[in-house]
Amino acid sequence: EPEVTQTPSHQVTQMGQEVILRCVPISNHLYFYWYRQILGQKVEFLVSFYNNEISEKSEIFDDQFSVERPDGSNFTLKIRSTKLEDSAMYFCASRKAESTDTQYFGPGTRLTVL
């Protein structure tokens, strides 16, 4: 069964550094999402992406964040200057256009900002 994959599984960085989190969505999916989950809290929407542009973003997704689909398979989340409060699990999700609204989540990247 096709899966969403994410790399790395764990990223440790110093405050102020840039990080890029990578996702490979399911191959025939067209809608892509990033969510984050601070330890012990609920999953929060960050951004949705379709047709090579952002379709919606939350108030969390400020100018420090950006997303990109650099080729036909990868979907990346960049955090330009990480802050301590960016420490969280980051989940990528994808959805097939003509399906119901099922979003399939990857296993996540745990980001630790020191």
Partner 1 sequence: QQQVKQSPQSLIVQKGGIPIINCAYENTAFDYFPWYQQFPGKGPALLIAIRPDVSEKKEGRFTISFNKSAKQFSLHIMDSQPGDSATYFCAASMGFGNEKLTFGTGTRLTIIP
| Residue ranges binding partner 1 (CB under 8 A) | 4, 31, 33, 35, 41-45, 48, 55-56, 58, 91, 93, 95, 100-108
Asked if residue 31 lies in contact with residue 95, where contact means CB atoms within 8 angstroms, the answer is: yes
Tokens for 17? 């550094």
Q: Which is nearer to partner 1, 19 or 47 (CB)?
A: 47
- Nearest alpha-carbon partner for 27 in 62, 64, 72, 68: 72
Distance CA 94, CA 23 (A): 10
Residue with Cβ nearer partner 1 (42 or 62)? 42
Q: Position 2: which residue type?
A: P
Which of 58/76 has CB closer to partner 1?
58
Q: How far is the CB of 81 from partner 1 (least distance, A)?
A: 25
Least distance in angstroms from the C-beta of 70 to partner 1:
22
